[in-house]
Amino acid sequence: MSQMYSGNSANFDDGEPDELEQLLVQGVTLDSPSDTVSPVVPRYHHADEEEDDVMEANSGNNHVGGGDFQGAAGLFAEAAQDMATASLELSLGRHFACADFCNQAAEKAAQAVSLLRFARRSTYDHDLATLGALVGAPAEIQDEMATLTPFHPESFYVDTPPEEADEVISAEQAATYVQSARHVLRWARGIILNA
């Protein structure tokens, strides 16, 4: 059974969790009047048509303009889940973990755009601003991504021992990283949902 969600979030970066985040964290119920459930309509066909159906299913119907919409949507959902985890880590006082999940969310959101635009992930060296440029992000989004670049664990732990990681980042700083990551997700969401 498939389900369509038709909500609209105008307050993506006002400090409240995004609707997609809420759906990932809390789940979806079918008792809400706004939920629309598509009926399953059986299709009867001749056995000779079965091969044509398989060919059609494998012909790339999930590709939009040469890109991979399903892959992009799936990766964007992972980014939204990482965003929810970042918020949880912030509330638990694990500031580096929060910043790390913000870094991951921004990377996955940009890679989702890459999948949609180029049907592949873009190769880069953990510099999120570079990734942003590769996928055509505007300058302000590249700046937000640059803010999150230092929190890739491989880079961060070069100068900071893991046991000191949460002490190096304040709660206020971590909250600004959450906002930066949300801006990146909002930009990517606009591209992916309008494909």
Summarised one tens digit per residue, pLDDT across range 64-108 is 456 899 999 999 999 999 999 999 999 999 999 999 999 999 999
Which DSSP state fits 44?
Answer: -
Give pLDDT, residue 158: 85
Is the distance from CB of 92 to CB of 122 less than 8 angstroms?
no
Q: If you average pLDDT over every residue of the chain, what do you get?
A: 76
| One-letter-per-residue 3-state SS of 45-107 | CCCCHHHHHHHHHCCCCCEECCEEHHHHHHHHHHHHHHHHHHHHHHHCCCHHHHHHHHHHHHH
Is the distance from CB of 100 to CB of 128 less than 8 angstroms?
no
User: Does residue 75 form part of some domain?
Assistant: yes
Residue 46, Cβ density class (10 Å: 0-12 exposed, 13-18 middle, ≥19 buried):
exposed
Q: Residue 174: which pLDDT band, with cuts at 50, 70 and 90? A: very high
pLDDT of 148 strictly over 50: yes
Say how many C-beta atoms besides its own lie within 10 A of residue 145's C-beta: 28
Domain of 110, CATH number, reads: 1.20.120.330
pTM of the model as a whole: 0.68
Is the distance from CB of 169 to CB of 99 less than 8 angstroms?
yes
Percentage of residues in the chain with pLDDT exceeding 70? 66
User: Does residue 6 form part of some domain?
Assistant: no
Is the distance from CB of 114 to CB of 134 less than 8 angstroms?
yes
User: Does residue 26 form part of some domain?
Assistant: no
User: Does residue 132 form part of some domain?
Assistant: yes
Domain that holds residue 129: 66-195
Summarised one tens digit per residue, pLDDT across range 21-67 is 554 555 544 343 434 333 333 333 333 333 333 333 333 434 445 68
User: Does residue 46 form part of some domain?
Assistant: no
Q: Is 14 helix (H, G, I), strand (E, B) or coil?
A: coil
pLDDT of 153 strictly over 60: yes
User: Does residue 81 form part of some domain?
Assistant: yes
Give pLDDT, residue 181: 98
Write down the residue that tokens 């048509």 correspond to: 49
Total count of domains within the chain:
1
Percentage of residues in the chain with pLDDT exceeding 90? 54
User: Does residue 18 form part of some domain?
Assistant: no
Helix, strand and coil in the chain, % to nearest 5:
60, 5, 35
